[in-house]
Amino acid sequence: MRNNTRKVSKKKWTIIMHVSAENNLFVEMLSVMEELFGIKNWSDAYFRQINFLVLFDGLSAKRFSYDFAKPSLYLVRPDSSFYLEFPVYMLRSDDMTDPATLKGVYSFVKRRYPAEKYGFIYKGHGSSGEGDIASKIFMEKIMKVPTGLMKAGKEEELGELLKKKTLFFGGWNFEEQYPINAYGGSNDKYTYLMVIMTKRRGRTLTYQKMADVLKEVFGETKFEFLFLDCCWGMQVENAHTFRDITKYFVASADLMPAAGVGYADFLRKIISRPHVTGREIAGLLLSVFFTNKYDDYDGEDESFRKMGVSLTNLKMDEMPRFISLFSQFCMFLSDGMEKYVHIIQKARKCCQDHTYDEKPEAFDMFNIDLVWFVENVIHFNRKSLKDKELELLALDLLYAITVRLRYGYVGNNYKKYKPGVPAIGGNGISITFPQTKQHYKNSMLPNKKKVNKKFAADTNWISFLESYYKQL
């Protein structure tokens, strides 16, 4: 009997890049796709050992048709155009928050594009314990605005007007706009815009859900690297979420540039040296990012000029050691909270949120630099209590983070201070530490969908926070 099962040979690498473009950054995401597909002067031969696949979830707007906007999987080929490529797999459902949908496409990749090594990239907005992939519906409306608001410097005013106009549609949120060229009603006084509005259905794709599906599909095969190319991804809670599925975890404690790290350079390096290791790729992401985006803060928007630019690489086989020491540190402080509360409070006040917003509740992130917090605990302990056991625990924890766990780090535009003054810190790894009990309730920590209950058991961090709030 004839066997029709096609045997697929393994390549050196299969890299999955999950791109969330169903948001206000879809134009920038298109640029990233064009950058990947537009690699010049490279033949298909260079891709014989590399599968670079992009799971693209876009909008039915601008250059997108309805079919083109459906979540689809594309195989990157050189010297082409994203707009001309046909997907190798089109998802039946457009609900990317559904584990069954993710399992289907990830299983297809594993079956159709087997490799000796795997890597994973998520690119999109970032938030507390999740990206921006949500179950949404979209609507487009033509809106009239004063032509004067289309001038440079009027972007904020234009955005506020469109948000107000969106309110008339009840329950819809302003997402993006673009001008309609040669629209019949446009004149010197008014300009007509196509405005994209969204409405959430209540479900989101958390990092925990993403990790669970990847674990289910790939089993004991760990990813060589996992990169969250999104804002505020480098948090202890996220590292804990992905601890069992990747060897290296790369992300930023800061905002990330919408246009990416420089993916054309990144891909060229890999296809020209397919025997590259996962450790080297994790380091390569840092170097490519810093080469292309070290000055990302220095743009037209002045609010970004005070922000740091960073990317961190964690060596995940050091997570057990870190978790053990961190748990001991938290438990020690919890057990002696009445004694240590004033030190903790002073240290926390020196830690500014990585959102760079003066009002921490604006984003409900409460993401502070973990290293900077521990350094300030040591500082205030030396000034008052001089507790030797606390100092030794804190120093051991600092060593575990900065020397063992943090395998690579690049940062720019930080003002570095000695402990004892309010600052961002700029050490590349953050943790959720709400200042008040009310902030804690609004954070991701009580949400079991975002933070696995095992995080509380492994680290004692939530027990520490509860003990701390009782003493305030």
Q: What is the pLDDT along the chain (472 residues), one digit of tens a residue?
A: 444 455 678 999 999 999 887 666 677 788 888 888 877 667 677 788 999 999 988 655 544 555 556 788 999 987 778 878 889 998 888 788 889 999 999 999 999 999 999 999 999 888 877 776 654 566 667 888 888 888 877 888 888 888 888 888 777 888 777 776 554 555 678 888 878 777 766 677 889 999 999 999 999 999 999 999 999 999 999 999 999 999 999 999 998 888 889 998 999 999 999 999 999 999 999 999 999 888 877 776 677 788 889 999 999 999 999 999 999 999 999 999 999 999 999 999 999 999 888 888 888 899 999 999 999 999 999 999 999 999 999 999 999 999 999 999 999 998 889 999 999 999 999 999 999 999 999 998 998 888 888 999 999 999 999 999 999 8
Strand partners, 173: 198
Helix (H, G, I), strand (E, B), or coil: what is residue 312? strand
Alpha carbon distances (Å) from 136 to 46, 50, 209: 38, 33, 17
Strands 430-432 and 367-369: antiparallel
pLDDT attached to residue 241: 95
pTM: 0.87
Task: Decide if 11-132+206-315 and 134-203 have a common fold.
Answer: no
What region, left, alpha or beta, does residue 150 occupy, with left being phi > 0 and alpha being psi -120 to 50 degrees? alpha
The span from the CA of 100 to the CA of 98, in Å, is 5
- ∠ CA 221-222-226, rounded to 5°: 145
Among 275, 223, 48, 242, smallest CA distance to 131 is for 242
pLDDT attached to residue 179: 72
| Residue 168 phi, psi (nearest 5) | -65, -20
Domain 11-132+206-315 grouped into CATH 3.30.70: no
| Residue 274 phi, psi (nearest 5) | -65, -15
The span from the CA of 170 to the CA of 342, in Å, is 47
Alpha carbon distances (Å) from 77 to 14, 20, 127, 267: 14, 20, 32, 11
Q: How many residues does the chain have?
A: 472
Q: Where are the domains of the chain?
A: 11-132+206-315, 134-203, 318-471
- ∠ CA 466-468-471, rounded to 5°: 115
Yes or no: say if 196 and 175 are a contact pair by the CB < 8 Å rule.
Answer: yes
- ∠ CA 260-263-269, rounded to 5°: 150
In sign, the C-alpha dihedral spanning 393, 251, 227, 447 is positive
pLDDT attached to residue 1: 40
Yes or no: say if 106 and 53 are a contact pair by the CB < 8 Å rule.
Answer: no
The span from the CA of 288 to the CA of 280, in Å, is 12
* CATH code matching the domain that covers 134-203, chosen among 1.10.287, 3.30.1490, 3.30.360, 2.30.30: 3.30.1490
Strands 225-229 and 248-251: parallel
